[in-house]
């Protein structure tokens, strides 16, 4: 993993490339620890304590942890959007719609100013 990605992640994510739901690989990436040793410790705990406590904790962790972003997050805004999307896709979609509508209104205002007759006269006078 690249260092700049590590700085912006600031969270514990399930890896998309893990063996079983990506929990061990996600934990290893977050703590910058070897994936082999993370899996070995998990397997050892499975064998020592039995399936019941560690198995439940593992599957709860898989359900609670957010999946790793498919693309690296380079800006704080991208991280905020990804977090909002993971928690509530509907809210994230509404946020994108509002942003698009605001941009569309700004473009329409600029087009109105540029295509107005006053703008044409100002350009002729400046020449």
Q: What's the pLDDT band for 127 if we cut at 50, 70, 90? A: low
Residues 103-120, mean pLDDT to the nearest whole number? 84
Output the pLDDT for position 122: 67
Mapped to the 3 state alphabet, what secondary structure does the chain carry? CCHHHHHHHCCCEECCCCCCCCHHHHHHHHCCCCHHHHHHHHHHHHHHHCHHHHHHHHHHHHHHCEECCCCCCCCHHHHHHHHHHHHCHHHHHHHHHHHHHHHHHHHHHHHHHHHCHHHHHHHHHHC
pLDDT above 60 for 17: yes
Percent of the chain at pLDDT exceeding 90: 33
Can you give the pTM of this predicted structure?
A: 0.55
Output the pLDDT for position 36: 95
Taking the domains of the chain in order of start, what are their residue ranges? 1-70, 88-127
């Amino acid at each position: 993993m690249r260092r700049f990605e590590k700085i912006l992640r600031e969270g514990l994510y399930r890896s998309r490339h893990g063996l079983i739901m990506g929990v061990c690989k996600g934990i290893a990436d977050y703590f910058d620890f070897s994936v082999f040793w993370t899996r070995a410790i998990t397997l050892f705990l499975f064998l020592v304590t039995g399936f019941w406590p560690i198995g439940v904790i593992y599957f709860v962790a898989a359900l609670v942890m957010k999946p790793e972003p498919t693309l690296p997050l380079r800006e704080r805004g991208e991280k905020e959007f990804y977090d909002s999307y993971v928690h509530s896709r509907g809210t994230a979609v509404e946020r994108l719609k509002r942003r698009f509508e605001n941009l569309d209104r700004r473009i329409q205002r600029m087009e109105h100013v540029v295509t107005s007759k006053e703008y044409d006269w100002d350009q002729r006078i400046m020449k």
